[in-house]
Chain A
Amino acid sequence: MTTRIERHHYDVVVIGAGGAGLRAAIEARLAGKKTAIISKSLFGKAHTVMAEGGAAAAMGNVNSRDNWMVHFRDTMRGGKFLNNFRMAELHAKESPSRIWELETYGALFDRTKSGKISQRNFGGHEYPRLAHVGDRTGLELIRTLQQKIVSLQQEDKREHGDYEARIKVFSETTITELLLDGDRVAGAFGYYRESGEFVLFSAPAVVLATGGVGRSYKVTSNSWEYTGDGHALALRAGATLINMEFLQFHPTGMVWPPSVKGILVTESVRGDGGVLKNSEGKRFMFDYVPDLFRRQYAETEEEADRWYTDPDNNRRPPELLPRDEVARAINSEVKAGRGTPAGGVLLDIASRLPAEEIRRRLPSMYHQFKELADVDITKEPMEVGPTCHYVMGGVEVDPDTAAAAGRVQGLFAAGEVSGGMHGSNRLGGNSLSDLLVFGKRAGEHAASYVDGLGRRPQVATPDVEAAVDAALAPLQRDTGESPYALQQDLQAVMGDLVGIIRRRGELEDALVRLGALRERVAKVSAAGGRRYNPGWHLALDLRNMLVVSECTAKAALEREESRGGHTREDFPTMEPTWRRVNLVCSLDGDQVRLERKPLPKLPPELFRLFERAELAKYLTDEELAEFDALAEEAK
């Protein structure tokens, strides 16, 4: 069988067309590089559209006391101090500019009375900070970036007579392999989903912006695209992954009815007055305020209710605790037998706001549930529970350049596929600003990396042949199992054994089962031909899902503490010594290798942004002594 391979030459190839990918592509194109955008879906359909709440940026439009230092502090607190401090710092400093820039691309955010971008409250953020458009901020972001790319193409059309002279979108295209020349990236190999034809991109720089890994879980808010492609591509190219044990389970995904299972109920429902109740009708969140947060959160329902109208003189309701705390509380309630039959709790906004007001504040939420499930959120409470939502872990990157760590060069990563920025837990709203800030940086530095190259790396023909063989293999076997059955088994292992609450025995069991699945996946077979064959596509994605799941399970077993998005029932507390450790995964042959690596140290000027009492909860005595010495010096 002869194989036709279409070949393209680009300076920068961006894999992924969500917010981070598009922002990176814009930057690379603005830097004069010939840029390709690879999208697994149609252009503009990325998972970014699911982000509802908003984009966090300390613009201070609603509360002028807000600034980057407060945002930085909130981000570090949310991530339980495991964040890469430099990423959190850059993110807090640069996100306002990234948001304002979107307005010059045509974005229309909701406004304050004085005509500035309005900002809303969100869990974990001290001040109203999220730029938003109703509850469809992600859609606005994607559409804005998509339209900016179109406008750049229109410029190119005027200048070169061709829309695609310098930036082209390859929609419905999947990359299966990165190709190297020594340790340098030389290109990427993949296939067009529509035709099944192969395509080879020769490019010295690749930006990964492929999003997350949620499809490995049973209950997830993530779309089919979230199969950890970028994570796996990076691993196989010799890069490393960090923090893979930290997965965010959104506390409030719908659990019933099935047509909306996994769909998230935005946290702004709670910000706007929604409360959580168990099956006995008790508003249970007051029982779950950790000591760490006790000072900032209300102790009585009366005080909590006053906060919505008078936030300066009252403490926040406990429903607005960081996501992991809320998820854990719901999990405990359900396990104690106080959940609904479907295994969730009730989120009630219907009895707290007039119907008209709910429809005005949460229009797409209202219309979504009405349409999808015939649930009227203005009349009845929603049934919600923890849902796999976001992976904090990802490709280990240099904070300033977004270049992947490890031995590979010319590989960059931004957005959900990168790790470190959010530490052990991401604050709501920080993902949209994350992908803008680091998407831009990745594009910019990919371009300057290309400028600095003496010789263009070459794709080796045997590598391409190997990639072709690997891609065609599932179609040529007819004895293996169905990819759909394998995916279900993988989701069961991850959902049941590496889910929100973890135990040693279960994690060990999970690793054994993943090992068995690995052999079955190696023999998967897909029926049908190459033309738009979802079975074949899934068969190829399974390999990626599996290796990334192994990383998560291994890291989860290794980290013997509970922190943010990683909860061990057998080690329920946060250990300051573990805060100093990043777990780093790499590939050794086809085996996942796990190493411990020290966390970068917080520099003095950032150290001083925190009170000692707060730091005492996170740091070891040794680190506290250093802090005291610094404080002494400053006097």
Chain B
Amino acid sequence: MSRAQRNRLEAGGLVDRSQVLDFSFDGKRYRGHAGDTLASALLANGVRLVGRSFKYHRPRGIFSAGAEEPSALVELRDGGRREPNTRATVAELYDGLEATSQNRWPSLGLDVLSMNRLVAPFLGAGFYYKTFMWPAKAWEKLYEPFIRRAAGLGRAAEGTDPDHYEKATTFCDVLVIGAGPAGLMAALAAGRTGARVILADEDFLPGGRLNAEVHEIGGQQGAAYAAHVAAELASLPNVRVMTRTTVFGVYDGGTYGALEKVNDHLRVPSPFQPRHRFWRIVARRAVLAAGATERPIVFGGNDRPGVMLAGAVGTYVQRFAVRPGRHVALFANNDAAWRGMLAAQAAGANVEAIVDVRGDVASVLTEAAKAKDIRVFTGARVIATHGKKLRTIDVASAERGHERLYIDTLAVSGGWSPAVHLTCHHGGRPVWNEAVAAFVPGATPPGLSVAGAANGSFALGAILKEGAQQGAEAAEALGFPVPPLDVPHTSEESTALQPFWHVADSKGAAFVDLQNDVTAKDVGIAHREGFRSVEHLKRYTTLGMATDQGRTSNVTGLAIMAELTGASIAETGTTIFRPPYTPVSLGALAGHHRGKDFRPVRLTPTHEWAAKLGAVFVETGPWLRAQYFPRKGEKDWLETVTREVKAVRSSVGLIDVSTFGKIDLQGPDVGTFLDRVYINTFSTLAVGKARYGVMLREDGMVMDDGTTARLAPEHYVMTTTTANAAKVYQHLEFCLQVLWPELDVSLASVSEHWAQIAIAGPVARTVLSRVVDKDVDVSDAALPFMGAIEGTVMGGVKARLFRLSFSGELGYEIAVPARQGAKLAQALMEAGHEYGITPYGTEALGVMRIEKGHVSGNELSGQTTAGDLGLGRMASPKKDYIGRVMAGRAGLIDPDRPSLVGFKPADRTKRLRAGAHFLGLGAPADMAHDEGYMTSVAYSPHLGHWIGLGLLKGGAKRVGDRVRAYDPVRGEEFELEVCAPGFIDPQGERLRG
């Protein structure tokens, strides 16, 4: 069955040969096994060309076996599930997987843009900044569209992502990041103390390098040992092993961001399961055991499919039982790579040559190689490669001169770079450690320690010890008693290495950053042009800015720069890594907060009731409110709203106003307190009365308005606007807790507790009298305008009755416990039935308040003073209040400030629009002549034409003038009459009726 997998080894590996998985790449069908990645399965099937590079569209293969992959990026899945830029090296194989190569046209084998290589000599670093400027207009029209089409890699999904995502928060004592040898030991050491431990690893199989290399630990094979430890950890109730989980960022307070790929290993997620889960892990301590990434040596032609990191070759052979090619050679500068290659040879790979830049390599290695008929070139380097896919390499050495080898797979190793990424997330800068020729962690985030290869310890024995030690120390620091832990024995291994970066005399383009096509020559250009600091190098050449975040290129790039400047690597320094450690799906970070669930919806107590009546709802901040209640036969919203307004003005209507903020204030000092937060006086308010109030911010601008009633000598209840409910409450608490803690006042937000329904219209009192209980007197004498009383309605339901009016009609607001709101609405409907009581929505409410000239959200813009709104006279001169001093500044009392007036179209058939600006008649349309703008408009059924409120320079003094409404964005300009901001019943007779 697996015969088709021509590069699959007969034995070994951690794949399950009994499970055959079908998959396709670029439409061709292949087979792999459970335990494969897409990359290992492709290699098993002899597929070596998998992608095209970003800039030059050069053919690229599989370069690594992990998250560092720069080249083997594919589009996975299709339609709404299409995932561009997926690394084949970490994509778990599943049955039915479909992958497509990207950044090529028309096909991977024949890519038209690969002609870019012909002009490559001109396209060096910084090329774009020096050209495409002539002619000036051509950038957006000609050059940029071409560049945009050619750039990018994969394509976004074709529709809405059909999968679900989740977010979750969890807590632990010790978070261990990485389940390689160091991480396993750290988790074991911490777990055995009883501490709550989370062990997270991006791989689906714990073990890290133990699965990819050949080791003996305490008498067991490395992979078996890893499985054994993982099993013990799984058995501990206080330890949680999270595979497929990448800790991607370190945030403040010990908060770690992690992405769990819950279902990416299936074709579609299991029912009711998210695709990804985003974790916020709050950990008291953390041990970073993220291992290290191998780095290549840069030489001409180092990007051909078939050139691969040496560790990856080992991984494919040992873990996946795949021969990456038929004829393998190694080009390296260190002992570990030799050992890996010898082990690969033993496992069935055909290693034919080892090329080492070092003249002097331990004889134990060279002898072992020679014993296996591997040709050894020491003091040598690869100076060229050939073939669209690798066919031959040229090796140069002092000893043997030049020689061409027929090799289809070249394993490359320039040493290892610790995965220090997370240590940088709080600004820590890695430091160069000459002894291991690598950047090791500098300052780490609080509570995070580093163990193993991530810390620059590359020998397995040391890694195990460090892991155990760091895990134990983390638990101990938290007070957990630490039992002794035996670190198992493993053989000593040499980590000898001679730093070597770049074969300067090699032929052909030598790539430093394989994904962004940054060559050694580009580093030279950056040097020549003065972009020598590591940050300038990165930004100018784009080195390390691709999806692999420079894992295999950063250090090499800056080492080449250091060679050019003559500075040491330590002096040259390095860039730091930003989150995320590996790219994170945006869907996971959003979780369920998308579509209709983007933000919670707040519903009024009468929502169901209104919905049954056919209300159209509108988003008002977090609320959904009834906007209007259309009836059959009404042709548009305007007809509906006009009917609603007329019904209120002629008879009676009702609206749910529960969305207003309601704040309960109690205590002996409430009056004093309110006097300090409102511009007008409340301490003198009689019990049983309400008063309209305006409050300012400390900078003198209006913050909010509303009515506050005094229910008892030491008990007031305040209403705020819907929009500012939370802000006002917060402000009042600040005043009370911070500014005037000596005041004896208690606040409670009761917005949620009370449903509040306004009824308005000439017969409102009659309707109200039918819902209140017998002993409640709502006569004009007992409940006059601005009266506020407590009583019961509907047979014993506690209620607060306010005689208030926003509409200008005789009006009441009735507050009952929230759960009684719908019942109250229904009771009012029945009580008013004979008068044709009409439910109305926010539109009609708005129309009536504009007719009445009341200000609302549009006028309370935060840019207006009380004076601007015609409310300046409310301010009490006898006391201090928040905002008083700053409101006296010249700029706030300038008589030239636009202030509130009303407007009518000179031609009464014209429709007014808010947002139109005002210009004097005959004045030019420019900023110097801008006189203000229209804040609110409505069609007034009372007057039979459109009316508006606006802020106009000169304000009240301009009543009777004419100005132009200037509204070019809607193509309108016409004359307006300026009038007082009150279009109906200016004496207020109706509301006192």
- On whether the two chains bind one another, the answer is no
